[in-house]
Chain A
Amino acid sequence: MIEFHLDSRSGVPAYLQLVQQVRQAIRLGILRPGDQLPTVKEVVATLTINPNTVLHAYRQLDLEGLTEGRRGVGTFVAESRPAIQASDLRSLRTTLDRWVARAREAGVDEDTIAALFAEAIRPDSVSRVA
């Protein structure tokens, strides 16, 4: 069973922290396929956060295929993790290397590169490409 915690100073939205913690737990084997996640009520009782935050997190996990909700029973870790094609990973990695090279050529330093990247991967990213 996973126990959630929240870092209110991290700047990362609460629901996303929960999502990340579940992902990490699955990666590390703390959560295995078939394990039940804490109920919304339990999370709310432990963390004193808005239930909608938990629901949002669980919905996100459901969307990513990491968990599945069973009505009236609870939320469970999905039986199979979505397989990522190796070829997809390779091509993404190549694109990424090229982008980093371009950025370095333009004189962008490492911190800025990291910041740009962090911005880009935020799901609720404020700045959209116009």
Chain B
Amino acid sequence: MSEQAAVRTDGLGKRYGSTWALRDCTLEIPAGSVTALVGPNGAGKTTLLHLLIGLGKPSAGRVEVLGLSPRRDAAVLLPRLSFVAQDHPLYRGLSIADTLKLARKLNPSWDEERAQARIERLGLDPHRKVSKLSGGQQAQVALTLALSKEPELLLLDEPVASLDPLARREFLGAVLEAVADTQMTVVISSHIVSELERVCDHLITLVDSRAQLAGSIAEIVASHRLLTGPRSDAASVARVHQVIRESHTERQTTLLVRANGHVYDSCWEQHEVDLEEIVLAYLGYRPGANRWEAGAQEVVPV
């Protein structure tokens, strides 16, 4: 994998009026990775993607995409990026053929053959009006536009949320094939955690407008542990490791920790945790409730 970061942010924030939709976001997304952007609705996923594609201007901090500024260098950068917004907007009055023509006219590097081949493979009639297509078909057309531009970075904003399982499979399959072909970097935002481990190799969690986790999935899974033991205080553990979630019954305490090195404490039994559990713990994480030290916005760039 190349050393270059496709995306770098530093203290990135975006405010609408007095509300911060995103704040203190510092992360790196490696080139060639498929990164999942996970978080509940309203957490800032769409805002982050909009900042990456230049649809919005940062209120704080900096953002760098492929080494360039999305707003200032838009003319040079936009041809190298692709974005499919939420609800995959398309001009409903146009036919599929006209939609492809529109994309061809607006993009200097456009692969017409690839676009048409994909439409054909999807079994769509090019003369059909976009408004007559199903949601899944529209998503596929929107993706066709994004892929035929041959981008270096593809940003997808909850593209599969409204699709049935088969359409979802086909959609993700097309994206991954393109990754296999061109080492394209992909950032795909979702609030469905379960499918991610198979498709993505990196993960970012956004909760309450802040990024908590950012790194390779392998590293995340390897560094988190479930500790179980007799009912006790988590203080000794919390001194060394970050306790993400703790729960107690009368006789037992269970801790989900992010280990800072090895866990040597022998009174705890250690288990591995799968990715979904880890992510869910972070999504439910509330800084006040656990012993995460204030100011430790632990976001680990890879």
Residues of A within 8 A of B (CB): 6, 8, 11, 14, 40-41, 44-45, 47-54, 124, 126-127, 130
Q: Are A52 and B201 in contact (CB under 8 A)?
A: yes
Known: A8-B198, A14-B198, A126-B272. A50 touches B222 (CB 8 A): no
Chain B residue nearest in CB terms to A55: B180
For B177, B180, B199, B201, which residue has the most chain A Cβ atoms within 10 angstroms? B180
Interface flags, B245-270, vs A, CB<8A=1, else 0: 00000000000000000100000001
User: What total count of A-B pairs have CB within 8 Å?
Assistant: 50
Please tell me if B163 contacts chain A, counting CB pairs below 8 Å. no
Q: Tell me the complex Cα distance, A66–B172, Å.
A: 30
CB atoms of B199 and A45 under 8 A apart: no
**Given the known A-B contacts A44-B173, A44-B176, A124-B222, are A49 and B198 also in contact in the complex, defined by CB atoms under 8 Å?**
yes
Is the contact region of chain B dominated by helix, strand, or loop, or is it mixed?
A: helix
The CA of A52 and the CA of B302, in the complex, are separated in Å by 16
Indicate the size class of the contact surface on chain B.
Answer: 20 to 34
Q: Does B231 contact A (CB under 8 A)?
A: no
Residues 169 to 187 of chain B near chain A (Cβ within 8 Å): 169, 172-173, 176-177, 179-181
Cα separation A68 to B34 with both chains bound (whole Å): 26
Task: Tell me, rounded to whole Å, the shortest Cβ–Cβ distance linking B109 to chain A.
Answer: 21
* Distance of A40 Cα from B183 Cα, bound (Å): 12
Q: Are B222 and A48 in contact (CB under 8 A)?
A: no
Query: What residues of A have a CB within 8 angstroms of the CB of B179 in the complex?
Result: 44, 50-51
